[in-house]
Structure 1
Amino acid sequence: MKTDKRTQLEHQLYITGLCLPCVGIIIWILWQDLPDVIVHRQQLPCIFHAVTGLYCPGCGGTRAAAAFFKGKWLLSFCYHPVVIYGCFVYFWYMLSHTIEWVSQQNLRIGMRYREIYLWLALVIVVINAAVKNIALVAYHIDLLKLLDGIS
């Protein structure tokens, strides 16, 4: 019974994953037409950062997505590494399941859902927030503003 639920979940994840490229293409097209001024200066401010002066665990995520969709993957990684991690996991999951489907289950290489992938994402988010806040508090280096100057 547990295997059937897991198979159903993986099938649902695969179907959802098939829909994501359409959404990604639409976002990419819209992002190409937006000037950098709008993308970087017209965002809603982070309330956590405004109140505490520290970065929240998600700070840099929007800029990372913008850099990713513009093909600046190293900059995207520097803004927020969980974006690159999520894309890698997504692409490997979809590729491996597509190969499994095309081979009619003869090549059983499909990446299986494991909670460890979510835990790894959480670790990346915590480490990212810690590094940015330590740099900000201990060394007075605002890494996001520094990266904004590079892009």
Structure 2
Amino acid sequence: MRKIYRPEHIRYLNTGSGIVLLGCAVYLAFAAKTGRGIPCIFYRFLGVKCPGCGMTRAAVSIARGDLKAAAGYNIMSVTVMPALFVYLVYRMIREEWYDNKDVEVWEYVFFLLIFLTTVVYTVLRNFI
């Protein structure tokens, strides 16, 4: 069996990721229990919804298994976010198991499409 070499920075990254995930879980539990989340500063000062507005309520809905409600709060929670999650898992596997840190052309195209989707979504939800 092949021994997996774990450099020091990977250990720090795993620890930091665990702390962030724990913080997210605590925040989502608080939001689910109280019905309150962090207010959007972008919306408060400009009166325009940012691409992330509704994402906390969407995450709580996803945790409860209600994808329809999640899509109602923010459609990107059930479209773009899962695609990004799958991509991050793919990158992690490719970099850690296959030691391939190269970025391929399709990855640039993928992120360009994510960016354009986010811009179009923001414009459509606010101005049309």
Normalised TM-score (structure 2): 0.56
Aligned length: 111
Matched residue, 2:36: 41
Q: Does 1:130 align with 2:123?
A: yes
- For structure 2, the 5+ residue unaligned runs are 1-8
Normalised TM-score (structure 1): 0.49
> Match for 1:87 among 85, 88, 93?
85
**Larger RCO (alpha carbons 8 Å, 6+ apart):** 1
Matched residue, 1:119: 112
Identity %: 20
Q: Is the 8 A contact 1:56 1:129 kept in 2?
A: yes
Q: Is the 8 A contact 1:49 1:56 kept in 2?
A: yes
SS of equivalent residue, structure 1 residue 43: coil
- Residue 66 to residue 121, structure 1, CA distance change in 2 (3 Å): farther
What are the Cα deviations for residues 99-136 of structure 1, in whole angstroms up to 9, with x where unaligned?
Answer: 314xxxxxxxx5743443432321121122133225xx
Q: Does 1:55 align with 2:53?
A: no
| Aligned alpha-carbon RMSD (Å) | 3.8
- For structure 1, the 5+ residue unaligned runs are 1-13, 102-109, 139-151
